[in-house]
Structure 1
Amino acid sequence: MANIVIALTTVNDESKAYEIAQGAVEARLAVAADVEARMTLFYWNGDALRHERGYRVSFTTTTEGVAGLEAWVHERHPHDVPQWIVLPAAATSDQYLAWAVAETSAGRQRTPGPVMP
């Protein structure tokens, strides 16, 4: 049975973050995608500590759909090795899970679930 997961990546370009978020939902790989407010990213690049402005994109998808979402995001991501972290949801309402399954590619082969208001 499918469950909800939240997949996270960061992008240093605001328009690219919006493009990836919207595209993943349009492709029905994520039921929702949030572009979070600008933040500062710190990371190692070889021997140099770097920092830059960035945006976190949080995708809501299903356990069945996360591999397809990952491949899709990585094809469009501007970094060679993008951040990709997947977090399981501790709990999800049955109605939200049914909606998420119905609205993602994994659910398109099934009977549609409820429509969210």
Structure 2
Amino acid sequence: MEEICVVTTVVDERSIAAGLADAAVVDHLAACAQVGGQVDSTYWWQQRVETNSEWSVQFKTAPGRVGALVEQIRANHPYDVPEILVNRVESNPDYAAWVHEQTRP
């Protein structure tokens, strides 16, 4: 098994999620990105509990590209405090090789 990274964020509009996904793949910061269905999120914001619908985006990338991907997401994210989660995961060697190849600068 080889290591890749899964970077996840959420936004409030599907079109924004699709734009983040497209930009990351076009710029070779992610080998692929999936826009997930709408989820309801409940959280504290400005001293009160909020509940809103959001769209999730998962990006698959090489560990060496995480920093640049996170910067791109942050620069284009509409939230003041975006959720950007990075998970290092083990993958089968063929898939990991494909991810690494697609994310070469």
Note whether the superposition's TM-score is higher than 0.5: yes
How far apart are 1:46 and its partner, in Å? Answer: 2.2
In the aligned structure 2, how far is the partner of 1:99 from the partner of 1:8? Answer: 19
CA distance in structure 1 between the aligned counterparts of 2:94 and 2:45, rounded to whole angstroms: 43
How far does residue 55 in structure 1 lie from its aligned partner after superposition? 0.4
Deviation string, structure 1 residues 82-104 (Cα, Å, up to 9, x no partner): 00111111x21111111111110
Partner of 1:98: 97
Structure 2 residue runs of 5 or longer lacking an equivalent are none
Count of paired positions: 104
Structure 1 gap segments, 5+ residues each: 109-117
Give 2:31's aligned residue: 31
Which residue does 2:9 correspond to in 1? Answer: 9
CA RMSD of aligned residues (A): 1.2
Runs in 1 of length 4+ with deviation above 2 angstroms?
none
CA–CA separation in structure 1 for the residues paired with 2:92 and 2:47: 46
Q: Which has the higher contact order (CA 8 A, sep 6+)?
A: 2
Identity of aligned residues (%): 28
- TM-score scaled by length of structure 2: 0.93
CA distances 1:28-85 after superposition (whole Å, capped 9, x unpaired)? 1001101000111111112100011100101101110111000001000001110011
Instruction: In structure 1, give the amino acid aligned to 2:94.
Output: Q
Q: Which has the higher Rg, Structure 1 or Structure 2?
A: 1
TM-score normalised by the chain length of structure 1? 0.84
Distance between the aligned counterparts of 2:98 and 2:85, measured in 1?
A: 23
For 1:96 and 1:57, how far apart are their aligned partners in 2? 19
